[in-house]
Structure 1
Amino acid sequence: MKINVQILFLLLLISCNPKKEFISNKIDTLIDKKSAIPFNGVILINKGEENVYCKSLGYSNFEAKTEFNSESQFVIGSISKQFTAVLVLQEFDKGNLELDVPIKKYLPELTQQWANKVTVRHLLTHMHGIIGLNEETKFEPGTQYEYSQIGFDLLAKIVEKTSKKSFADISFDLFQKCKMFNTFHPDLKKHKNLVFGYTLNDNEKLEIERRTFENYVAAGGFISTANDLLQWNKLLYNGKLLSDKTFKLFVTKQNGAIRNHPLFGKTDYGLGITVDTKDDIIQYGQTGFTPGFVSVNFYYPKTKTSLIVLQNVVENSNDLNKSFGYITKIHTLLRKEIK
């Protein structure tokens, strides 16, 4: 039986998926290079229902030479802020809180003057100016932007008041509902596969990091996996976690909420998430850094693509460009393909 050559050639083109091969080869070349600090972690790129790229390299425990698996858990740094923001906005959807009233309404124990001016929206957009609980604000709330961790700790306290549950428990309930069974608030002590975090010391030796959980959990201390973050993206960006109206608020650039990001330059914020529209590419998400761990979770709604990278080695805590070197290069490769 003769086969139509044109049809066969078309079938080969479909099966090869040259775009998929292009980015896979490019990333392989990047992470397989001989380097003083080789890539160590997990990369997951998903488009729709297909994992375009999925690979792990290195060790979850260098001393025991333990390799990663699908349930390897990482501390995800500021990616945690998405979880906190959604918990806040779910309380908003329930009518349990308002975005534009002073937080004194929810935290009456605060005696500071700024509690009568700072709102939930200010906390979500880093426009509150709080630098310490017992200090005056750095600027008039709502007039400037300054990236903050303490604001998200206050958001966690507000959610505790409005939900009448601990922040650890309400976040656990959310993750169970989302079927994110490997994602936890660290205080619950339910994680079983947390990888070791490492930092390169002054002698260029990897040391186990002991300061990982010094940050506020609501701002940067949640534990998760690549697969769970992918599940989060699919639910969040397909309207399963927030009402349509609230989701639109979540991903709308807020007036004045503009950060000079150390990696990406001018960056706009929605309500607890970055909103990037450079080069006509819509990108939502967050990078994450905490001692011993660097990470990213970006989502591109037009192509339904997720970029998730989790690393447990920090090259230089004082130089984010070095520590995020692999992530920024992978990010650039993916954006080129999307464009």
Structure 2
Amino acid sequence: MKHFIFSSAFFLIFLFSEYSFCQINLGQSVDSLIRVTNPRFFNGVILVSKNGESIYEKTHGYSSLVKKISLKMEDQFLIGSISKQFTATLVLREIQAGHIQAHQTIGHYLPDFKQRWADSVTVQQLLNHTSGIIHWDNNLAYEPGSKFSYSNINYAILGAIIEKTSGQTYSVLTADLFEHCKMKSSTVPPGSGRKSNHKKLVKGHSESGNKKYVEENILNLLDSPMMGVPASGMISTAGDLAKWMSCLHNGELLADSTYQMMINHAVIRSHRWGEVKYADGIQVDHLDGITELSMSGYVPGFISTMIYYPKTKVSIVILENISPLSSDMNRVFYFHDQIRKMVRTSF
């Protein structure tokens, strides 16, 4: 019995020591990485968590490059296309409630929708970007369901559908998600003409052709039609996004059968990581035998990444308030991808 107790204690000490070593090694590696300036500089916040507990967090840079105000972990960022995951979750909750059927068309839920393809594209095809919709008023680019083509329009339409089927505004629906997951610093932008009260929302900066960064007008950006709030216009923090991943992937928002629907309706897309899959507002990969659930975002002035590893319950959130030129996405997400590799190696 004493031998068993000793062995168990030794095993626990070994596990704790190994975990501590991984944590220290990760911290040192990331600290060193974000100090480099080639191929660009890093300006943002990083949060790595395990089982909901922070194991590494760091701010590096400024909330305003002009005023040189240092970033804080509680600062708010525009999260770009990560917003799509919230919209997809709302759609799936409507499916779960019996208000939406994935195989039904846009026209079924939005009968006043005038586009010629309204009765040809289904909710499911909007969710996984296989709709063929590239522009609002043009013909479809291809037969719906035949291939993947990323488009914010898909999620703008989904936002309109869930407002119709639920009888609630998108703002109210997302506020319910935030409250459920205890995300106290997340919100959607105010409507056009309304004053923003996002006191912790950092300034966004877009790279110009001479590698200088120009400050974006946030209020104009939030109201811009290109944003499409259900597709790319949500505001959040690193801590709130870590809470979101824990909430979503541990069964607090969707029944298991609905969650399986979310991650299994995957289609292949080309990506800088290689051949990955996009499901319902989420990338689902099994590269090197590691299951990885992710989303990223790019809007003028901001880039973002969030990744969740269900086996280890490790999550990564990286938010930057600069947007390098989109002509080289490897450069844009250089730090995000390097940190991803470090976490995959450490845990």
Q: Provide the TM-score with structure 1 as the length reference.
A: 0.91
CA contact (8 A) 1:124 1:271 kept: yes
1:264 to 273, 283, 290: 273
Q: Is contact 2:204-2:321 (8 Å) kept?
A: yes
Write out aligned runs for 1:58-77 (5 A).
58-77=61-80
Match of 1:3 in 2: none
Match of 2:232 in 1: 220
Contact conserved, 1:199 with 1:317, CA < 8 A, in 2?
A: no
The CA distance in 2 between the partners of 1:236 and 1:335, in whole Å, is 21
Distance 1:168 1:14, change over 3 A: closer
Report the CA distance shift for 1:207/1:14 in structure 2 as closer, same or farther (over 3 A): same
Question: 1:137-152 counterparts in 2 under 5 A?
Answer: 137-152=140-155
**196-205 or 54-63, which deviates more:** 196-205
Aligned partner of 1:163 in structure 2 is 166
C-alpha distance in 1 between matches for 2:248 and 2:263 = 11
Unaligned runs of 5+ in 1: 1-6
Counterpart of 1:125 (choices 114, 117, 128) is 128
Alignment of 1:225-244 (within 5 A): 225-244=237-256
1:267 partner SS: strand
Distance 1:286 1:161, change over 3 A: same
- In the superposition, relative to structure 1, how do residues 212 and 265 fare at CA in structure 2: closer, same or farther (>3 Å)? farther
The answer to whether the aligner puts 1:191 opposite 2:188 as a matched pair is no
What's the secondary structure of 1:132's corresponding residue? coil
- Does structure 1 residue 84 correspond to structure 2 residue 87? yes
Structure 1: which 4+ aligned runs deviate by more than 4 Å? 10-13
Q: Does 1:252 align with 2:264?
A: yes
Q: Does 1:32 align with 2:38?
A: no
1:182 aligns with 2:185: yes
Partner of 2:314: 305
- For 2:42, the aligned partner's letter is F
Task: Report the AA paired with residue 236 of structure 1.
Answer: L
Q: Does structure 2 retain, via aligned residues, the 8 Å contact 1:199–1:207?
A: yes
Which of 305, 320, 343 is equivalent to 1:334? 343
2:296–2:305 contact (8 Å) kept in structure 1: yes
Cα 1:245/1:65, change in 2 over 3 Å: same
Would the aligned equivalents of 2:58 and 2:73 in 1 still touch at CA under 8 Å?
no
Distance in 2 (CA, whole Å) between partners of 1:162 and 1:26 is 48
In the alignment, is the contact (CA less than 8 A) between 1:291 and 1:317 conserved in 2?
Answer: no
- 312-321 or 40-49: which moved more? 312-321
Aligned length: 330
Identity score, percent: 39
Contact 1:99/1:120, CA 8 A, preserved across alignment? yes
Secondary structure in 2 matching 1:331: helix
8 Å Cα contact 2:39-2:331 kept in structure 1: no
* Structure 1 residues 280-338: Cα deviation after superposition (integer angstroms, max 9, x where no partner): 00011201111111110010000001010001112223222111111111111112223
TM-score by length of 2: 0.89
In 1, distance between residues paired with 2:16 and 2:276? Answer: 37
Report the CA distance between 1:140 and its aligned residue.
1.0
Cα pair 2:45 2:73 within 8 Å, conserved? no
Residue number among 192, 213, 216 corresponding to 1:209 in the alignment: 216
CA contact (8 A) 2:204 2:302 kept: yes
